[in-house]
A and B are shown apart, each in its own frame.
Chain A
Amino acid sequence: MSNAAIAVGVALLVAVAVAAVAWPFVSPVRGVPEPVLSERDRHRIELLERRDAAYSGLRDLEHDHRTGKVSDDDYEAERRRLRGEAAGVLRDLDALDSTTGDRPDPPREV
């Protein structure tokens, strides 16, 4: 490879690299600030996670009961507890969203 070819190759490499990093600043699409969750949003996501965890717990419990890992008595007691937990989280979500006018995701069949 001749020196000229190497020089052209290196120049191209640098040009592509510079173009890649500079493109977001020169592109016609205007940049907007990165979204950051507020404390309220964080709390809401935390509640949604707890709600989904309770739903998932109910699904697992159902599966464990059907496959014989949980007795009928344990199943009823645990089901009551998880449903109570989910209901509590949904109440908290309602309370949080009533102040902002948002609606939580609709509860799903579990």
Chain B
Amino acid sequence: MAVFGTAALIVTFALAVYATGAALLAARRRDRRLMQSAANALMAGFATTLAATVCLLIALARHDFSIQTVATTTSRELPLQYRLSALWASQEGSLLLWLTVLTGAASLVMLQNRRRNRELMPWVAAVLGGIIVFFSGMVAFVSPPFQQVSGAAPANGSGLDPALQNPYMVAHPPMLYLGYVSVAVPFAFAMAALIAGRTDSRWLVAVRRWTLFAWMCLGVGMLLGAHWAYVEIGWGGYWAWDPVENAALMPWLAATAFLHSVMVQEKKGMLKVWNMVLVTATFALALFGTFLTRSGIVGSIHAFVQSGVGVYLLTFIAVVLAVATALIVWRLPMLRSEHRLESVVSREATFLFNNLLLLAFAFAILWGVIFPVLSEAVRGVQSTVSTPYYNFFLVAFGLPLLILTGIGPLVAWRKASVNSLARTFRWPAMSALAAGGLMALAGLGSSAAGLTAFSLCVFVTITIGLEFARGMSARRAVAGTSWSRSLVDLVGRNRRRYGGYVVHLAIVILVVGVTASSAYSTSTQATLAPGQSMNLAGYTLTYDGLSRSRDSNSVTTSAVLKVSRGGQTVGSLSPGQRIYPIEQRSTNEVDIRRSMLTGTDLYTILQGVSQQDGRTVTVKALVNPAVGLIWVAGLVFLIGALITIWPDPREARQLARRYAAALAREA
């Protein structure tokens, strides 16, 4: 199995080298057969990579401990789903997954564009082929997933990190990888457009859905990761500005900026250079995220040396940045704007401000991530950049971004007059002020940032509501349809616009959830003997005693807590500590009581069991208001993103009309 898997990976590498060379030659000679051969090589590369991945999955499922990856990430006691998800628990396996998704994306691009974008495709194939050469080289020769253990195979493996034995870890990493890898496609098209001198908006149309898909996967992946942290890590929060979390957030922010600025290029022929920079930044940040998670540089700079893959990834990022910069500079004359910004009060200006804030936030995070590494490398001093640093920038950049989320849709393209602005913003602004006053009276003024965020959320929600209401009203006036039909028509005919508004609504829900659960959270901790109680935010938790349970690879000790409110028992919670004998690790198993109505969680953590009497426990409890809205936001985000991604046949027909005539004469 290992030999076959290794051979498959070497064949993938050879195919990628061939595809890159053949595509370059096809571009030079305008040879369609060579191009088809290059495309076939990329698709065959996907098949061989998939074969290698299946080999590793079989080895993981069958306890083939002669393979180091299997021996170090699984054990005989590990349930099947976690044996399979151990594929991405190791560096070697996760790079193999990267390669599988990358070759799959490249194959899909080749199939989608068999008869489209013919001038660009040889260059696209060459760029994607080049990226695959790098990653297949890494997987085949630097970090091989089928490496054998030295000596005889052990009778049992050392097991999987208990924190990774969670259903969310089955879905969260692949989702993030889909996001990281899919941004390679917009990058490849952007570079192809520069090389081919086709800097018109064709490449933007070709990559729009890929960018949206990557951005959606990164967004959903981050929320899945946040939920995993919330229910598994057991500190009561969901986002800790961990470098690995930041690794996904940075390309997502850059992609968000790109998705906005691309509209300015399509509508106004402006920001062409900026869009090239954003696509490059998004891809480079996705690679940097892979570097962060795979090199080990974040834990300690010495791990970077030990890891082996870090230096290759860093070199590759440098090459990507150098080549992209050179191409952009070379094609600067072609990337001139067709129009100038005519007013700072216009849709394009709000998009530009939004871009600057998103990029500034991304680079503030980047600095926070690399500062400890630079500090250790230059001064030899270990330092950390902690939560207050990130929270400062979250508020400093996040609140203006929230304002722009409300303002942008209400401002006309090109320029807006003071009168129309006053008319448009009257209701949203008055509602936000009134809501802010009411919330202050209700006692939410303890956090100025929280109160401001809530007021702005009201502002944005009203603007979105008005946009839908006015759009439906206009649609009804034109078509004379019912309100429900008008809504369907409105969204169906303007998927990008109204799908975008749904995503904005998701951001509002997210901000409410994050603000409420962080600015207004309460917590307490108590050491309890059986029968004793602790109080928090109207809840009384009474400790009844310990319970123990066992499954195939762990033993759990839980404290049974009776929960009452206003003198009435409303349920029970059993936070516990789980011991994994094989892995010799333990984890907190939190227990949460959720209110479906308010989204508020009563969150309990078993901090410890007394060594002296074996019965007294220390319990920490938190009340996280409206935290459930964060997960609701994820669902709304997904719906909005899917509306936006859904293909628009009218647009496809228009593009086909525009290009077919010119190409038909040449073919």
Which residues of A come within 8 Å of B, CB atoms?
1, 6, 9-10, 13-14, 16-17, 20-25, 31-38, 41-42, 44-46, 48-50, 52-53, 56-57, 60-61, 63-64, 66-71, 73-74, 78, 102, 105
Contact = CB atoms under 8 A, between A and B. Distances in A.
Contact of B4 (A1, A16, A20, A45): A1
Nearest to B654: A52
B665 interface: yes
Contacts of A48: 658
Most buried by A among B1, B32, B202: B32
B258 to A, nearest CB: 19
A88 B37 CA distance: 44
A70 B420 contact: yes
Interface in B389-412: 410-412
Which 7 residue pairs are nearest across A and B when measured between Cβ atoms? A31-B33, A67-B470, A66-B474, A35-B666, A24-B36, A20-B44, A41-B662
5 contacts: A13-B4, A21-B40, A31-B33, A66-B474, A74-B416
A36 B31 CA distance: 11
B659 interface: yes
B40 A6 contact: no
A41 B665 contact: yes
Contacts of B198: 37, 42
Given A24-B36, A53-B268, A56-B267, A13 B8 contact: yes
A67 B474 contact: yes
B7 interface: yes
A37 B662 CA distance: 7
A9 B412 CA distance: 62
Contact of A41 (B30, B33, B657, B666): B666
Contact of B32 (A21, A32, A42, A44): A32
Contacts of A57: 267, 413
Given A21-B40, A35-B666, 15 more contacts: A13-B11, A13-B51, A24-B40, A31-B32, A33-B32, A35-B30, A37-B662, A37-B666, A45-B200, A60-B413, A63-B494, A67-B474, A69-B410, A69-B412, A69-B420
B644 interface: no
B419 interface: yes
A68 B200 contact: no
A9 B11 CA distance: 12
A68 B470 contact: yes
Interface in B25-47: 26-27, 29-37, 40-41, 43-44, 47
Interface string B260-276: 00000011110000000
A65 B29 CA distance: 51
Interface in B197-223: 198, 200-202
Contact of B43 (A20, A45, A67): A20
Contacts of A49: 200-201, 658
B119 A35 contact: yes
A45 B651 CA distance: 16
B662 A45 contact: yes
Contacts of B26: 34
B417 A74 contact: yes
Query: Of A31, A37, A57, which is in contact with the most chain B CB atoms at under 10 Å from its CB?
Result: A37
Interface of B: 1, 3-4, 7-8, 11, 14-15, 18, 22, 26-27, 29-37, 40-41, 43-44, 47-48, 51, 118-119, 122, 198, 200-202, 266-269, 338, 410-417, 419-420, 423-424, 467, 470-471, 473-474, 477, 494, 654, 657-659, 661-663, 665-667
Contact of B41 (A20, A25, A32, A70): A20
A21 B667 CA distance: 23
Contact of A66 (B266, B477, B659, B661): B477
Given A1-B1, A61-B413, A105-B658, A38 B471 contact: no
A68 B420 contact: yes
B667 to A, nearest CB: 5
Contacts of B33: 24-25, 31
A20 B381 CA distance: 55
A8 B4 CA distance: 10
B195 to A, nearest CB: 13
A50 B51 CA distance: 47
Contacts of B662: 37, 41, 44-45
B168 to A, nearest CB: 34
A79 B69 CA distance: 65
A78 B347 CA distance: 15
A25 B33 CA distance: 6
A68 B423 contact: yes
B8 A36 contact: no
A35 B663 contact: yes
Contact of A17 (B29, B44, B419, B423): B44
Counting chain A CB atoms within 10 Å of each CB, the highest count among B35, B266, B658 belongs to B658
B413 A64 contact: yes
B490 to A, nearest CB: 10
A68 B202 CA distance: 32
A1 B420 CA distance: 75
A52 to B, nearest CB: 7
B413 A23 contact: no
Contacts of B338: 50
Contacts of A20: 40-41, 43-44
Nearest to A51: B658
A64 B412 contact: yes
A42 B623 CA distance: 62
A61 B53 CA distance: 52
B666 A6 contact: no
B40 A78 contact: no
A34 B471 contact: no
A15 B119 CA distance: 31
Given A21-B41, A37-B666, A13 B48 contact: yes
A29 B140 CA distance: 35
Contacts of A34: 26-27, 30-32, 35, 118-119, 122
A22 B37 contact: yes
Contacts of A38: 666
A23 B40 contact: yes
Nearest to B122: A34
B74 to A, nearest CB: 20
Chain B CB within 10 A, most for which of A25, A33, A67: A67
B414 A78 contact: yes
Contacts of A74: 412, 415-417, 420
Contacts of B423: 68
Contact of B471 (A44, A67, A78): A67
Contacts of B419: 71
